[in-house]
Each structure stands twice: as C-alpha cells, then as structure tokens.
Amino acid sequence: MKNRPINVFLLDDEFPMLDEFRQRGVYLTAIKKDDLYHLAVNSEWKHLIDLQQLIIDVITSSACQEGLVNLLGFNTPTQALKEIENGILPDVVIYDWEYPNAPMHSPNAKNWLLEILKKTEAFVFVYSKMRDELPRFLNLSEFAEYAPRFQLFLKGGKFKSSFSAEEFIYQYIIGTATDRGEIKINGIKVEFASNNYLKSASDILFLQRILGSQYVLDELNKIDFTVNELGVEKILNDSHGYLLFSEEKKILVNPSEKINQKELEPLIRLSYSEVIKRFSIEALEDTLERGFLVM
C-alpha cells in the first residue's frame, strides 16, 4: 500500500458542460473528484459513455473511498501543466490527444505530452479516438526514452485481450494505489491480491496473452473470481503448459519451437508456474513468443 494517495489526471475537452459549473468556474482549473462524480452521474455523455463509466468505477472503488486515489479532471493539457508547476504531480495521466486548438496534425498535443513526460514520473495513457493514426507521432526519437511510460488506447475500444481500454486503465489505477482491491474483467468484478506470480492487477494481461482470454475467464469462474497465490497457481497448472530449460546453456525453450533441441540437452521440463517462480512471467511470455530465451 502506498504512503500517500496516487494522483490521477484525466485530460479531456469533452466533459459535459453544466451551467452551474460554468458559474462556479469549475472548468477553469482542476475539476475535483466530487464534481467529476456529479458530472458522471447527472449528465449526458453521448459517445463518451465508456469514459463516464471509468470515472464512476474509479470514484466508487474501495481504493478511492479509502483515500488512496485522488482523481482530477482537466479540460486542457495546459491546465494540467499549471497544476504540475504548482507541485501537484500525477502518478497516472489519462491523456486525450485531440483538442480544439490542437487538431490531429498539430504539434501542440505532441509537445504537451512531451512536457508532461519530462516534468513527471507518471505513466501516461494516450487515450484517443484516432489510435491508428497516432503511432507515427509517438514513434519519434524524442519519445524513445519515455516509451516505457506511455500506452496508446482507443477510446471505448477492446484491448487485444478481453479487457476494454477503460478496464485496463481502471485496473492500472487500482493496482498502483494498492496491492489489493476490486478490479473488473469484461464487467465482472474480480478480487485481486498481489502474490508471487502477479505483482499488480494489470499483470493479468500476461495470463491472457499466454493462456488465451476465454481460458482465463473460465478459470477465474472456477476460483470465484478471486486472484491470489493459490488461484493463479491453479490457473497455470490446469493449463498443463510447460517449457524446456537447459541448465548448462541457461536457455528457456518453447517445446513447440522447431530448433535442434538435441544440441541443448540435457533439458529439464518446467511447468509454467515453475518458470514464473524461477524467472518471471515476462520470461515465460517472451519464450512462448520468440521460441527461446537466453537467461
């Protein structure tokens, strides 16, 4: 559990505009959690219903109710940057790409994003309706050093696993705030506890990429949607998956890889759970994808 609440900045210019909020000047600076919740439950969000639900889920989460998450909304990146200059640093940023004064091909959105990355240690979700057009902006050399700290998502879109973008962002926020909490997969509530297999809720993505989305959902049902040490071990062991390992050459091998395994003998068989315990879940996924991995 963190020593302080994590700050989550939500940057989007399409928050519903209420007359009462205009009169109070709510939109001119950081929109506080209570006002965001009021917007989420009392306004029409039209095509942003996924973002609306994300706000509701975060604010009503046990982590937020316990004071572990501080959610702030901003109409523009410049408002967020002013807050950063005032010493309020975000841990997580949900960054909409398009703004009236920064259309798709404008350098403004890129420069604002770079400034946020440079001035903070935050993880940034670039959250856009134009996901497929953005990689050429984000693959520029100036973003290279920050690549581990941002992820591109389509608003309201399905991630390549069974997560939607909003579900993944929600899990990341809750996982950053606490090592235990309630997350959601396909709208289903799942209790997550940090363990020796998965350090944070978002690590469930590894399981889904390794084992398949439907398999993981079926297995979660068998363990009453509680992700803990025993639950993860059951999911892994029930798959009967394994890798081969050369102690002498320190190489992990996918048994289905068409390489000359005789040259690597003697090989020992390690179950998926043994691979994760001995190395890491990242090593397991890399080996399955690449065929072999030198440790």
Instruction: Kindly list the domain boundaries of the chain, sorted by start residue.
Output: 6-175, 179-238, 242-294
pLDDT at 110: 83
Residue 180 in tokens: 């235990």
Q: What are the CB-based long-range contacts (under 8 Å, 24+) for 138-141?
A: 140/110
Q: Which of 49, 118, 47, 48 is nearest to 77 (CA)?
A: 118
3-state secondary structure string, 239-271?
CCCEEEEECCCCEEECCCCCCCHHHHCCCEEEE
Contact between 42 and 52 (Cβ < 8 Å): no
Task: Please enumerate in sequence order all residues whose Cβ is within 8 A of that of 212, keeping only pairs 6 or more positions apart, or say none.
Answer: none
- pLDDT for 6 beyond 90: yes
Classify the C-alpha dihedral 184-188-191-192 as positive or negative: negative
Rounded CA-CA distance 76/85 in Å is 15
Contact between 206 and 161 (Cβ < 8 Å): no
Backbone dihedral angles phi then psi of residue 49, each to the nearest 5 degrees = -65, -30
> Which tens digits make up the pLDDT trace of 34-92?
999 999 999 988 878 889 999 999 999 888 999 999 999 999 999 999 999 999 999 99
pLDDT at 139: 65
> Which tens digits make up the pLDDT trace of 17-30?
999 999 999 999 99
Residue 255 in tokens: 């048994």
Burial of 129 (0-12, 13-18, 19+ CB in 10 A): middle
pLDDT at 131: 53
> Which tens digits make up the pLDDT trace of 225-283?
888 899 999 999 999 999 998 888 888 888 887 666 667 778 889 999 999 999 988 88
Task: Of 135-139, 215-219, 291-295, give the lowest mean pLDDT range.
Answer: 135-139
183 to 33, 86, 180: CA distances (angstroms): 20, 32, 9
Q: Diameter of the chain by CA atoms?
A: 76
Helix, strand, coil percentages in the chain from 3-state DSSP, rounded to 5: 50, 20, 30
pLDDT at 101: 62
Name the pairing type of β-strands 6-11 and 69-74: parallel
The total of other beta-carbon atoms located within 10 Å of residue 141's CB is 6
Contact between 131 and 154 (Cβ < 8 Å): yes
pLDDT at 97: 79
pLDDT at 64: 92
Residue with tokens 């090989």: 267
pLDDT at 157: 53
Global pTM reads: 0.70
- pLDDT for 118 beyond 90: yes
Confidence of residue 160 (pLDDT cuts 50, 70, 90): very low
- pLDDT for 1 beyond 50: no
Q: The CATH number of 6-175 is which of 3.40.50.2300, 3.40.228.10, 3.90.1300.10, 3.30.1490.20?
A: 3.40.50.2300
User: What's the whole-number average pLDDT of the chain?
Assistant: 84
pLDDT at 103: 54
pLDDT at 18: 93
> Which tens digits make up the pLDDT trace of 124-153?
998 776 655 665 666 668 888 888 888 877
